[in-house]
Each structure stands twice: as structure tokens, then as C-alpha cells.
Structure 1
Amino acid sequence: MQTYRLSLFVLIISVLTFSLDTNVYAQSNSNKFVVVLDAGHGGKDPGNMGSGFKEKDIALKIVLETGRQLERNPNIKVVYTRKKDVFIDLDVRGAIANKANADLFVSVHCNAHNSQAHGTETFVLGTHRNKTNFEVAKKENSVIFQESNYEQKYDGFNPNSPESFLAISIAQEEYLDQSIKLARIIQDKFTNSLKRKNRGVKQAGFIVLHQTVMPSVLIEVGFLTYKREGVYLNSSKGQKEISTAITKAILDYKNSIATIGDFSDNKEFDEIPKESNGIEFKIQIAASSKALETKPYNFKGLNEITRLKEGSLYKYYYGSTTNYETTKQLEEEARSKGYSSSFVVAFKNGKKIPLTEALKTIAN
């Protein structure tokens, strides 16, 4: 009888321990940084076939290796749009990322050209700045012709018409700033670590990026039509090096935004004095290459919108307060209107400063 009670006690403790571990895992999993990896093309769509290499196969191998490396980090969850040689509609790829509530969407492709062009370039969503960018997007977007009911799904979008891309709106450009940041880090890794030719960060109207609602990039890892580069991309060595560069770029991006800090949960800053020593806080809701009128109809009904140009981008801010506590309310209002990636930005004498610096200043 005593042995039975002891066994029962051990069983209960084991069950409770297992339940506790499961709950802890579920909680930590919900806080993971979610990265969706998209291998371009697949199945009946081989992509470009420069020098006899298949884009769909190379893209998949790079994505799977990138995923394996990222999954070593316990704080990252990787979601794949495809893990084998299957055809996935472009809108489905975006839907997978949106459903996963992803923090990043990274699509991998291989380039092609009728010249000796070579090197890497990373695209973010935007309007075409030149004919070359349009041709790259047109090639990648042409896959929709292999999808059923593509005219209905994409509202009559025509990859061969430059006019079709003019419909890209501020709603899709909400994440442009963050997308460009990731794209630049990726290109820097390719250039500095792998000594690849840097063709830059570019904008173009890729449908697969248009479907997502998070920072998103499309990487052209090289030209299969350039024989030397095609051989490299088709090799296990090349694929491993490219995957490692992409992985490091994603981790660097993740760490860079983490250093900004979520001060709403930071007890040190919960007791910040109401007066902020002349420092002003605003909520950044969007970034765009277009200068929009700061009227409510352009920003889902939000008033008190200000615009600031930084480089080639226009940043849009909602509200203004000298009280850091008030930013929580402003941020909630922005998010309720659909600006889910909005965040607090600090200014001093009209000049943007790091948020950490602002909070330390007003805490003293």
C-alpha cells in the first residue's frame, strides 16, 4: 500500500511537472521572433534556367539551410512557405506569413539577364525607379499566369503593365523603413563576408511582397546566366555561405530592433516624471517614398500627422507629447487603426534622438 502511494505521488508530480514544462514552452514560443522563409518558384514553375541550373532547386536549398541555422536560436521560430518541390501561389505565400503573424518575410530567388551581369541585390516593395527593376519584378510576377483565377485574385493586376504598379499604397509601405534596414544588412553581409558584387538595395513591385503585412524583402542571390556565378550558386559550398550570410543578417536585424527596447514593460521607465525636460515623443506609423498630404483621409482617419524627410524616405508620425506615459495611449490608437508596427520616436529641439537617450535624460 505504501509503495502504491509512493508510485501515485511520483506519477502526480511527473504530470504536474510535464504540464508546467508544456505551459512554459507554450508561453515562450508565443514570444518568439517569427521568420517566414520563402523559396521562390517550385513545382511546375522552375524559375529561370540560366546555364542549365534550376532556380527553384537552388532557392529551396538556400532556404532550408537558412532555416536550419536560424532554428538553432531558441528565440526564433521559422515558418516555410514550401519545404519541397511544389508550386505555391503568390497570394498563398503572403497568407502563410500573415497567418503566422511573422516579424519578417524573406523570399529567396536567383537572377537572370542576357548579359554578363552578376552580383547580389535585395528588393523591397515600391514603385520601379528604372526599367531594369521593372523587368526583374515582371519576371518574378509572371508566375501568376500559372495560377488559376489570377485575374480575380489580384484584381486585374498585369505584370506586363507599369501602370498596374501605381496602385501600391501607404498601407503596404508601412514597413518600408524596416524592410530597407534588413535589405541593407543582407547586402552588407554578402559584400563584406562573401566579397560578392553589391548591386544594391532596390525597390520594385513584387506581388509576393505586396501580399504581406510585415517587413519583407526579396533577395536575388546571384545570376544563373553568369556561368561562374551559376556554378557557385549550384554548389553546396555556395549555398552554405549564402545561407550563413542571410542568417547572420536576420540575427543582426533582430538584435538591432531589440536594442530599442520595449520600455512599456520596463519598470525603470514606468516611473518617468511627467515633465520630459523639453523632449517630445511621437508615434512613427509609416515610411514612404511618396510625400503624402498629412490629412486624415491618407492615414485612416488619424489627425495630428507630421511628416519628416530622411534621405529618400518620408517618415510619418502620429501625435505629439512631452509625457512618455501618454505615448502608450497614442500607440494604442495608432494600432487600433491598423498601424500594427508603430513605435515611439523621440525628438529634442526638433531633431530625432535615440529613445534610450531620451528616456535616460528625462529620468535624471
Structure 2
Amino acid sequence: MKMLKNLKIFSTIILGLFFCFNSFSNKPGTDNSKPLVVVIDPGHGGKDPGAVNKSIREKDIVLGIGLKLGKHINENYPDVKVVYTRSTDIFVPLIERSRIANKNKADLFISLHANACGTPATRGTETFFLGPSRSDDNLEIAKKENSVILLEEDYKETYEGFDPNSAESYIMFEMMQNTYLDLSLFVADAIQQQFQSRIESPNRGVKQAGFLVLRQSSMPSVLVEAGFLSNNAEANHLNSAAGQQQIALSIFEAFKKFKNKNSGKTMNSLPEIASNKIQETPPQKSIIPEKQIPQIEEVAKPIIQEEKTKNEIIGDTTLKQKAPESSIIYSVQIGANTTPIDPVASNFKGVKNVRREKTDKYYRYYVGNENSLEKATLVLQQIKQKFPQAFIVSFVDGRRVPIN
């Protein structure tokens, strides 16, 4: 069987970000006047068929799954607004997918895809949330998937010089706001749990990688790989109405958990992380039994009440910025990542006096050391010109605490 493995659009939050930060007011469940909005993104379409196995095309499969998923949500939650990036067989540029999500102020982005590889025996489901690539394999997958922008006219101008084949272009993918890492991980884990209980296909786990999608967006985002079209049995199952219904229902059940978990949450509340561990993407040239897939450490635990900051505080000034004892200090957070970036102005769009603080597994980047929320708001207004979705955080005696 001759396989045509086409370049794929990973449109989510995910999954492509230079920065994925948000003000607290946009978190799911914090604005009772705004209906919850979920954007369903069937990948590929039109001139981009995605993965192909004979007459079975990825673009058709994920569209069927997406429409069925949206129907489940509409029938069970008429108060939820469902938006599709495409509902017919059309080509939607990557940048337009993010615009659709931003325009509708989405609370959750679900990108739907089907996998393919050079080993026909490989099968199974996996769900990605967007974050720093933890292996060379993940980086290579991201390069391949992001290369779909080459199908678009004026892609160099549209994506501001981004080169999908250059490792340097992925450096700033490390800058992720950990709130949405946590929320995205929660959804990804819930989806994989549903797959494991409902579908007779190996659970390949929850994984993360840096895909170029949803630039300047701010929402929990996941990318679902519903199975391998390079496996004949799995391809036939996904091409059937029953198979697509299974996938759609599994994702719907995970969506219910997301909605219930975030209903009535306060601004600083985050969902708990469920049982699945984040897994490395296995090499495409071999098959690893599910029990042998190596596990890596989970992302930083959610901040519930307070966050203790370790001693490392680094900035591009020689003086360490320290909060006066027993006073509330407000700063503006512009990013967080798992590997350190030198906090000099050239790395932060010219913003000076950025300080880096390590908390748990994350390096966070702050500007300002203000003694009032009003002053911090003025700083935020300036920073938002370069980092539109920066937000204010507060500290007491060096500990990060919720803003009351």
C-alpha cells in the first residue's frame, strides 16, 4: 500500500504560539454574562487532504467527527455556542483559524486530526496540548505539521518571517502561560481517558509539542489525533459513521468534564490534573508497546492558594527587586516557560527591567514592582502594547498569592 503522508495543519494551542497569555477576565467560567464558546477545528480541507489511505482522506474523516461533536454539544447544551473553523470541504489558512477563535472569544479550542506514519502496524489515539517540545522527535513533528503554511500565498509576510523548517523559529514557543497549559492538559487527559474506556485502540497518551497555531490567542487548546490512517483497520473504522460517532462522543464526554469543572470557578481557580502522564512522542520508525512508552514529568501543578518563589531572581539590572516585608506587591507577568531565557530587553521586544523567577518547574518573567493595583494597572497598559495578554499578579513576602 502506497501512503501519501501530507502536511497537516495543527490549528489550536494551541497549539502555535509565540506567547499564549491571557488576562484573568477571559478564563472559562469567569464571565457569567458570556456564553461558553467552543471552537471545533476539523483539520485540513479543500486542496489539503491531510493523510490519505487509498480513497480515505483525513479531511473528510475529521469533518465528520467535528460535525457530530458539535451536534452532541448543541443538543445537550443549547446555552453553549459552537463555532466551526470549517463545516464544508474548504481550505482554511492557519492564520484564519486563529482569527475565528479570537473573533468569537473562544473558551476552548479542539483541533481534530488523524495520524499517519511509515509503519502500517502502528495505531492508537493521542492528544496534544501545546507547549515546549520535549524531544527531537516532537520538534521534527512540529516542523512537518507547521510546514502546511507553505501552501498559503504570502506566508512569509503573514507569519512574520517564521520558517517552519528552522529550529530557531521555535525558540519563543517555550514562552507559555502555565494557566492554559494546565487547562489544556486537563482537557487532553480527559479525552484520552474517554478514548481508553470507549475505543478498542491503544492509548498513546497525552503529549506536548510546539505547533504554529493560534498566534496571539488565549484559550485552552488541544489537538486530537483520532487514529492512524496508515493502519488499514483503523482507517476503515474512522471512515465509518460508527467510528466517527465513537470519537465524537468520547470528546463530548471530555468536554462535559471541562464545562462542569469550570462552571462557577473564581478567577484564580484551576482544574485538577487527572491521572494520565504526559508522554514523549515515540519514534515514527518503530512501535513501542503502550506499557513501555516512557513517561516524563508533568507540568507545574496549578496555583490554588499561593505559590512559593525560589531564591533565583534574575533581571537585567544589577539590583535584586525584592518586595518590602508583609506588603502586597503587584507585578505584570508576561510569560512562563520550562527553560530559562535571559531576561534582557532584546529577548522581550525591547521591554526593560524584566526579572525572571523560578517557581517549581517554571521560569516566570515579570515587569514592575508596584505597591498598588492602580500603579500595576498603568504598567499593564504599557506592556499590553507589546504583549497584549499579559496580566497582573500579586506577592506577599515573596509568595505569589491570589489577587483579592
Question: Please, what TM-score do these two structures have when normalized by structure 1?
Answer: 0.70
Deviates more, 1:108-117 or 1:130-139: 130-139
In the alignment, structure 1 residue 221 sits paired with structure 2 residue 226: yes
Cα offset, 1:66, TM superposition? 0.9
In the alignment, structure 1 residue 132 sits paired with structure 2 residue 137: yes
Q: SS in structure 2 opposite 1:75? A: coil
Report the AA paired with residue 78 of structure 1: V
Report the identity percentage.
39
Please report the RMSD computed on the Cα atoms of aligned residues, expressed in angstroms: 3.9
Q: Pick one of 46, 56, 67 that aligns with 2:59.
A: 56
Aligned to 1:288: 337
Cα distance in 2 between the residues matched to 1:305 and 1:239: 46
Q: Residues 67-78 of structure 1 correspond to what in structure 2 (within 5 A)?
A: 67-71=70-74, 72-78=76-82
Alignment CA distance shift 1:332-1:107 (3 Å) = farther
Cα distance in 1 between the residues matched to 2:147 and 2:116: 14
Alignment CA distance shift 1:212-1:287 (3 Å) = same
Per-residue CA deviations over 1:171-227 (Å, capped at 9, x if unaligned) read: 677733322222222222212333532222222232224453322221111110011
Q: Pick one of 309, 319, 338 that aligns with 2:360.
A: 309
Per-residue CA deviations over 1:306-351 (Å, capped at 9, x if unaligned) read: 43115xx556788999xxxx8899689768844758587999996x
Per-residue CA deviations over 1:107-157 (Å, capped at 9, x if unaligned) read: 111100001221112222234333432343233223212211112112232
Aligned to 2:147: 142
Per-residue CA deviations over 1:232-290 (Å, capped at 9, x if unaligned) read: 111111111111111121221232233533589xxxxxxxxxxxxx9x99899554223
Alignment CA distance shift 1:307-1:172 (3 Å) = closer
In the alignment, structure 1 residue 234 sits paired with structure 2 residue 285: no
Q: Pick one of 223, 247, 255 that aligns with 2:252.
A: 247
- In the alignment, structure 1 segments of 5+ residues that lack a partner are 1-27, 265-277, 360-364
Q: Residues 89-100 of structure 1 correspond to what in structure 2 (within 5 A)?
A: 89-100=93-104
Cα distance in 1 between the residues matched to 2:375 and 2:156: 41
Report the AA paired with residue 90 of structure 1: L
Report the AA paired with residue 62 of structure 2: A
Report the AA paired with residue 133 of structure 2: H
Cα distance in 2 between the residues matched to 1:186 and 1:293: 36
Q: Pick one of 106, 109, 113 that aligns with 1:109.
A: 113
Q: SS in structure 1 opposite 2:195? A: helix
Report the AA paired with residue 134 of structure 1: L
Q: Residues 61-210 of structure 1 correspond to what in structure 2 (within 5 A)?
A: 61-71=64-74, 72-115=76-119, 116-168=121-173, 170=175, 175-210=180-215
Cα distance in 1 between the residues matched to 2:332 and 2:263: 17
Larger radius of gyration: 1
C-alpha contact 1:50 1:112 (8 A) present in aligned 2? no
Q: SS in structure 1 opposite 2:237? A: helix
Cα distance in 2 between the residues matched to 1:217 and 1:51: 28
Alignment CA distance shift 1:349-1:140 (3 Å) = closer
Q: Residues 40-51 of structure 1 correspond to what in structure 2 (within 5 A)?
A: 40-51=43-54
Deviates more, 1:192-201 or 1:225-234: 192-201
C-alpha contact 1:70 1:76 (8 A) present in aligned 2? yes
Q: Residues 283-362 of structure 1 correspond to what in structure 2 (within 5 A)?
A: 285=333, 286-292=335-341, 306-310=357-361, 313-314=362-363, 337-338=383-384, 340=389
Cα distance in 2 between the residues matched to 1:136 and 1:304: 33
Cα distance in 1 between the residues matched to 2:213 and 2:68: 21
Alignment CA distance shift 1:90-1:221 (3 Å) = same
- In the alignment, structure 2 segments of 5+ residues that lack a partner are 1-30, 270-325
C-alpha contact 1:283 1:330 (8 A) present in aligned 2? yes
C-alpha contact 1:294 1:307 (8 A) present in aligned 2? no
Q: SS in structure 1 opposite 2:360? A: strand
Deviates more, 1:141-150 or 1:54-63: 141-150
Cα distance in 1 between the residues matched to 2:258 and 2:382: 26
Cα distance in 1 between the residues matched to 2:341 and 2:94: 29
Cα distance in 1 between the residues matched to 2:195 and 2:329: 36
Cα offset, 1:64, TM superposition? 0.9
Question: Please, what TM-score do these two structures have when normalized by structure 2?
Answer: 0.63
Cα distance in 2 between the residues matched to 1:281 and 1:66: 45
Q: How many aligned residue pairs are there?
A: 310
